[in-house]
Structure 1
Amino acid sequence: MSEFDAQSIAARLKSESRIRRKPKTYAQRRSLLDTYTHELLQLDAAGCNGTELQRWLAEKGVTVERSTVNRWLHRNRKQHDG
């Protein structure tokens, strides 16, 4: 009969928990703005600025800071242009 080593099993489980709990980085998370990718990029191409896009999103029920809109645009312009 093999011996049950609770300490080593507990240490292994705790180690696995830390790995599973590791938060995703911002780049790995999905943005609320991703739902409106097509529309936001079209409005941006039509000349809307971040404040105008923020107001348009507010009409859709999405509360977001202008800086977030600008950061999202900067990241997604590159991905969709290239």
Structure 2
Amino acid sequence: MNDFDAQAIAAQLKAQSAARRKPRTYNQRRSVLDEYKYELLQLDREGCSGTQLQTWLAEKKQLRVERSTINRWLHRNRVQDNSDG
């Protein structure tokens, strides 16, 4: 009479959650800032702040990006750039 199987239901729910958490593809992980990697890293080396880079992107590239996004991107790419050489 009691057809409720908590273990089976929990296993099914966990499998559904795992299926939803598919790894992102390269294009989903790619940042819009990657297109300007060379310029951004050069300007960063010259001492430009995240706010200055935000202004440059808005004026020259017509791209609106939050300063915090630029700073996170720089941090990630500075580390990669330094580990290459």
Please give the TM-score of this superposition, normalised by the length of structure 1: 0.68
Q: In the TM superposition, what is the alpha-carbon distance from 1:24 to its structure 2 partner?
A: 2.2
**Deviations for 1:6-57, whole angstroms, at most 9, x for unmatched residues?**
xxxxxxxxx9xx84883628xx610000000000000000000000000001
Unaligned runs of 5+ in 1: 1-14
- 1:29 corresponds in structure 2 to 29
2:70 & 2:21 partners in 1: Cα distance? 28
Task: Confirm or deny that 1:80 pairs with 2:78.
Answer: no
For 1:71, the equivalent position in structure 2 comes to: 72
TM-score, normalization: structure 2? 0.66
Q: Percent identity?
A: 67
Give the aligned CA root-mean-square deviation in angstroms.
2.4
4+ aligned runs moved over 3 Å, structure 1: 18-23
